[in-house]
Amino acid sequence: MSALILTGADIRVEDVAAVARDGRKVEVASIVIDRLERARKVLDRVAASGQPIYGLNTGLGANLGASISGDASAFQRQLLEGRSGAVGDALPQDIVRATMLARAAMFSAGGSGISSEVFVALIDALNAGVHPVMPSLGSIGDSDLVLMATLGRMLTGDGEADFQGRRMPAAKALAMAR
């Protein structure tokens, strides 16, 4: 089976099913990396100007008006931890894989400001079969955020991941997959 190549265009349901259920590999068109890097430069330039950017240098939700200063990476980790309130049974692996692919496809269209390194790490984890343990229930208001927080935490080595049929600390799974 040939790899699914993300270009930033729509993907088909059949492609999602093949990646989610059959382990089809995912590749990224070079134009996507160029697009992500250009968008990231814009984000970095705007952030350096001091302009408020939701969730990057401002708080979220009711804390929207709060400016964040200091270590931006520490703030971003705090956001992941603060949004990791999902509960319930872990989602099945095929659902997690479909979720990872859907997020990667969305990112590949550009405009999110995600770094190309984080994007590639997401694709690499998907292709290596490293999946976050993603609880099935988020809050009503933050449903997508809490589920994506488990993905973000896994990519930073926090939380738990499933790899080769075993549940383990995410950092260990990522290291084993290299």
Cβ-Cβ contacts under 8 Å for 65 (sequence gap 6 or more): 58, 59
* Contact criterion met (CB below 8 Å) for 170 and 157: yes
**pLDDT tens column, 135-176:** 888 765 556 777 888 999 999 999 999 999 999 999 999 999
Alpha-carbon distance 167 to 133, whole Å? 8
Complete domains list, the chain, with CATH: 4-44+71-177 (1.10.275.10)
State the catalytic residues.
54
Q: What is the pTM of this model?
A: 0.90
* Contact criterion met (CB below 8 Å) for 164 and 129: yes
The pair of structure tokens assigned to 154 is 């896994």
**pLDDT tens column, 6-44:** 999 999 999 999 999 999 999 999 999 999 999 999 999
